[in-house]
Copies of this chain bind each other. A is one copy, B any other.
Amino acid sequence: MTTIKRAAIIGGGVIGAGWIARLIENGVVVSVFDPAPDAKEKIDAVLVNSRYAYKKLSNLTGPKEGRVIFCESVAEACHLAELIVESVPERLATKQVVYAEIENYADINAIIASSTSGILPSDLQAFMSNPERFLVAHPFNPVYLLPLVEIVGGSKTSSTVIQKAEAIYQSIGMHPLIVKKEIEAFIADRLLESLWREALWLVKDGIATTQDIDDAVRFGFGLRYAQMGIFDTYRVAGGEAGMRHFIEQFGPCLKWPWSKLTDVPELDDELVDKIASQSDEQSGHMSIREMERIRDDNLIEILQGLKRNNWGAGQTLANYESRFLNAANDPG
């Protein structure tokens, strides 16, 4: 089991804070650098959620919570870190500047991981002195509960570093998905973007409100996708006739007229207004804090339920927890 004792987080927004939460819950000491004046306050708010969630998720005792050290510089944050996580805004040049700064101070064996949701690792690592230790590790919000992390190496990333990263992310309860070919937005966000584009058209054209679309998701296919993906779902739907039969039947639908809306809708003021006001009408009666708690409570129930079936994300959780059991039973 590859575990780490110290990590650094550069950039403490929603994603950075989620990383901090997941790491400290696994006993890792985390040094944070974020120049924003309200960074600590925002991180503390996420940690309130994550502590509540972990307590509720499992009745096993995990490792003692790691400390969070707020630092004044990248240099200070990188000191002793075995894993350095970059979660700064999605601008290539900004990130490259951050890596240059990190490389001035990072241990030569430290892994440098970007949380980018779409920029190519080869571009990100282009000007690094030691690019072989760089990779993308793209998590999903809330990072402290969702197990998926997409691991993407660039052309200069060493395969040993990919393997080591895979083991580290497993050790903090995640499901690392090794993306074998570099592509913008990787896998999950490409799928999400296609959904988002279609959703925008439906709202823009007045076919559906944001509430209609959300209900179409959460009362229908969203329930399926918490446990089986797109292909397994269709495999089952195809029945004994098999996947080939299913695709041959389903395939031609792609040529039907409803495929026409594949260009990108203009996000003009009118559409932004429409979405924002429909969303307010749908969920404006809840605070974001309240919605986060509802979301986390639901995710906990789903993860616990899947754990009872030892399946998918629940299996990841069960495997992870079995380490605590083994540790507790280990007389050494």
Contact = CB atoms under 8 A, between A and B. Distances in A.
Contacts of A147: 219-220
A237 interface: yes
B213 A187 contact: yes
Contact of A313 (B196, B218, B299): B218
A55 interface: no
- Among A195, A252, A313: residue with most chain B CB under 10 A: A195
Interface in A171-221: 175, 177, 179-181, 183-185, 187-188, 190-200, 202, 205-208, 210-221
Given A191-B199, A292-B236, A230 B258 contact: no
Contacts of A305: 298, 301-302, 304-305
Nearest to A185: B258
B206 A188 contact: no
A275 B206 CA distance: 35
A279 B235 contact: yes
Given A255-B264, A297-B309, A305-B298, A231 B210 contact: yes
Taking chain A's interface residues, is the majority helix, strand, or loop, or is none over half, making it mixed? helix
B191 A275 contact: no
B312 A219 contact: yes
A254 to B, nearest CB: 5
Contacts of A199: 191, 230-231
A94 interface: no
A251 B267 contact: yes
Contact of A227 (B191, B207, B218): B218
A272 interface: yes
B259 A231 contact: no
Given A184-B258, A195-B194, A259-B264, A146 B297 contact: no
Contacts of A243: 275-276, 279-280
A272 B248 contact: yes
A299 B188 contact: no
A256 B184 CA distance: 9
Contacts of A77: none
Interface in A55-79: none
A302 B214 CA distance: 17
Among A235, A244, A254, A312, the most chain B Cβ lie within 10 Å of the Cβ of A235
Contacts of A118: 253, 256, 258
Given A202-B190, A240-B288, A219 B258 contact: no
A216 B237 contact: no
Nearest to A184: B258
A166 interface: no
A196 B187 CA distance: 13
A229 B216 contact: yes
Interface of A: 14, 118, 140-141, 145-148, 150, 175, 177, 179-181, 183-185, 187-188, 190-200, 202, 205-208, 210-233, 235-240, 242-244, 247-248, 250-259, 261-265, 267, 272-273, 275-276, 278-280, 282-283, 288, 291-292, 294-295, 297-299, 301-306, 308-309, 311-313, 316
